[in-house]
Structure 1
Amino acid sequence: MTPEVFVDVLRDALYLVILLVSAIILPSLFVGLIVAVFQAATSINEQTLSFLPRLIVTLLALIFGGHWFTRVIMEYTNELFLSIPTVVG
């Protein structure tokens, strides 16, 4: 395995991780920001008010995006397995 091939595989893997994690985290980040603005405007400092909506949105992102997450990971894994002969040989 040449260093160029290793860097390409690592780059693709990191891109995939960033893509999947951002698809889960970004909706939660936006909901947390909206709740924080609401709490600042109303002076409500309840911890569960900021935690529960983010938890629900994260779980919904996992539920609705689970099929896509699985498909993307399986496609990447298939690409890796199919590229083994060209990488090794």
Structure 2
Amino acid sequence: MKSGGFTMKKWASNDTAVLSDLPLEVTSPLETSRLWKTLGLYWNRRLDVLTFVPPAEIPPGQHDTKRQLVSLAAKVFDPLGCVA
């Protein structure tokens, strides 16, 4: 990554041994209650699970139309194919 000009920041891991090998200025503190947005999904570091948060729902009182359903489906960003 460094050869491409990318400086890595905010390293996160659920393993404290991994974080202890890195300088403090490039790591993120281990917060157990926070969800980290990773590749369009949310990662719970404490449980080491990925969570999908669905897009906003169609407002109540409106009929579901094909256009609204396609619009909601287009808002899903899932590069890993976990939801599909």
How high is the TM-score relative to the length of structure 2? 0.28
Which of 1 and 2 has greater Rg? 1
The structure where helix makes up a greater share of residues is 1
